[in-house]
Structures are given as C-alpha cells and as structure tokens.
Amino acid sequence: MRRWLVALALAGTTTVALSGCLQQHRADGDLTDDWPALPVPQLFVPATDACLPRITAVVQAGTYETVDCARSHLAEAIHVGAFRGAAAGPARPQPGSPALGTARSECDQRAREVLGGDWHAARLTLNISLPSTSAWNSGARWFRCDLSETDSIDNTRPVNRTGSLRGALIGDNPLTHRCFDPKLIGNNLNYMAPVLCSEPHRAEFVGVYLERDMTWAQFNRANQQVHRRCMALIAAFAAVPNNSDLPYRAGSIFYPPSQREWEEGDRGIRCFLWSDDRKLTRSMRGAGPEGLPAI
C-alpha cells in the first residue's frame, strides 16, 4: 500500500517535468498484485525416527520435544501414519478403541522392520500417540508409533534408555525374553525373575501366537484353548512330539496384552514353557525327548 501512495504523490508533483518522458515505476491501480501470496497454514505433524523425553497419548504442538537418541529418553517414534476411511471421520478415535486397529497393525509392522524381530518377544512396548482434539478438528489425521524399553515382562512401564532401538532384536541382545525363575505365592504366579539359562530355572520363553478370533471377554474364558496353543509352540520349540505325553514334559505360562491393547487390535500372546517338577539348567530349544523327558 505504501508504494501506491508514494507513486500517487509523485505523479501529482512532477507531471510537467516528466511530460514526454517514460515513467518506469508507474502505479497500475491494482492493489493486490504487488504483494506475495501468504503461505498456506501447515498442520503440525510430529517427526518420525526421533527420540522422546516423555510419553504422552496426545501430542500437543506447543509442548512437543525431541532429543538426540544418544541421550536418555523414554520412547522412540518409529513411524507416523495417517488415518483413512471411517477412522478419519469427525470424531477422533479414543485409546482402547477398535478404530485404532488399522493404525496398530501398521505400527506393529513398522516396529518389526525397525527392530529386526517381533517386539512381543522382548522387553518392549508399542504405543500409539494421537493429535489433540483441537488439532483433529482442524484437520490433523496422523498417528504416531512409539516404541519403549520396559523394566520386565511383569512391569511394562517404560524405562529410560540411551541409543536407538533400530536393529535391537538382530542377533544376541539383552532385550529378548529367555529364561526365568518364576516366583509363586501359593499356586499363583507372582512375577517372573529373569535368569541366565545356565542357572536353575523353571520357565523359558518359546514364542508368540496371534489370537485373532476371540473378543476380550471370550479370551478370559478360554484358558484351556490358549494353553493348547502355547503347548503347540512349546513342542515345536523343544523339538518334542505334540501328543498325549506333552503335558508330562512341560506346562505353559502365557502373557496376553492388556485389555486396552487387545481392543486396539494387539492379539500377541507370549508363551512360556513351565517346568513344575524340576529345575532346568539349559535352554530347552531343540532339546528333544531326552532333554525334556516325560515324567
């Protein structure tokens, strides 16, 4: 606007002097074409492949912070995806909602790629972070996948760590579940104390299976079915027949996801070989009938 006012004043005072000359900067009467276009407002989207000093289920742009992964942190953002279809509707999905199923599946796949293995098999937890309600109402439709190291199989609260989790499950590593000496109160499992497989122990992690067909309520009534699925993993792990002798070789312990994780679509059941009547002093991987006899 200032350029136009100056040009108009000059035009009124120099008309005679400039008669017959070419005026190089003459106003064209258009008040809009001399201004650059304003940039289109950009919605906040968190970074991926970034480490986080704190964990929040809802990410606020005003308090968003990342740190170098070489420094102490609680989580690592491994992927940022986008809601589509019904999940991208006017109402933001809530934690524990089945509407997060596609997002969790995408996070799970990305976690396996980043880690080099199944995060269920290690002291890790996978969480989904969402935009705030106001950001969602403004058009934000992203979700973020956050991986964290946990204290133990029993205490899944994230702990501080240094270093990226990229490739953390490739080869021998301290995160993978191995052997445990379970602590009981009466006949009830209290917690699983991790030990070296060369030390006396009664339990060993054998694998994960996906329980896709049951609701949470059905799962809680299906202990025997879950036990049979875990026993099949035990037989394959120990290289023993999955027959009527198997219950005389070992029992099972299993850890399901939480109800919130289950409702979101995480159905990974962690299975453990359980030796009730004798202490083991080696891994039962490939032990065969002689290494894990029926007694």
The residues spanned by each domain of the chain are 44-175, 177-295
Q: Give the rounded percent of residues in the chain with a pLDDT score beyond 70.
A: 86
Predicted local confidence at residue 35, as pLDDT: 57
Question: Considering the entire predicted model, what is its pTM?
Answer: 0.84
Q: Quickly tell me which residue has 């098999």 as its tokens.
A: 121
User: Residues 42-85: pLDDT tens digits?
Assistant: 789 999 999 999 999 999 999 999 999 999 999 999 999 999 99
Query: How many angstroms separate the CA atoms of 163 and 169, rounded?
Result: 13
- Band of residue 244 on the pLDDT scale cut at 50, 70, 90: very high
Query: How many angstroms separate the CA atoms of 87 and 100, rounded?
Result: 8
Residue 193: pLDDT over 80:
yes
Task: Give the tokens for residue 119.
Answer: 């995060």
- Mean pLDDT throughout 192-215? 96
Query: How many angstroms separate the CA atoms of 3 and 22, rounded?
Result: 19
Predicted local confidence at residue 198, as pLDDT: 97
Pairing of strands 124-131, 58-59: parallel
User: Residues 79-94: pLDDT tens digits?
Assistant: 999 999 999 999 999 9
Neighbours of 78 (CB within 10 A): 23
- Mean pLDDT throughout 131-138? 95
- Mean pLDDT throughout 134-159? 96
Reported as half-sphere exposure (CB side, CA atoms, 13 A), residue 201 has a value of: 22
Nearest CA to 210 out of 115, 149, 90, 120 is that of 120
- Mean pLDDT throughout 206-215? 94
Query: How many angstroms separate the CA atoms of 74 and 55, rounded?
Result: 7
Residue 15: pLDDT over 60:
no
Pairing of strands 188-195, 142-149: unpaired
Residue 6: pLDDT over 90:
no
Neighbours of 138 (CB within 10 A): 12
Residue 1: pLDDT over 50:
no
The residues, ordered by sequence, that sit 6+ positions from 115 with a Cβ below 8 Å of its Cβ are 122, 124, 147, 165, 166, 167, 168, 169, 170
Query: How many angstroms separate the CA atoms of 255 and 219, rounded?
Result: 12
Q: How far apart are the first and last CA of the chain?
A: 94
Report whether 132 contacts 124 (CB < 8 A).
no
- Continuous segment of H or E residues that includes residue 207: strand 203-210
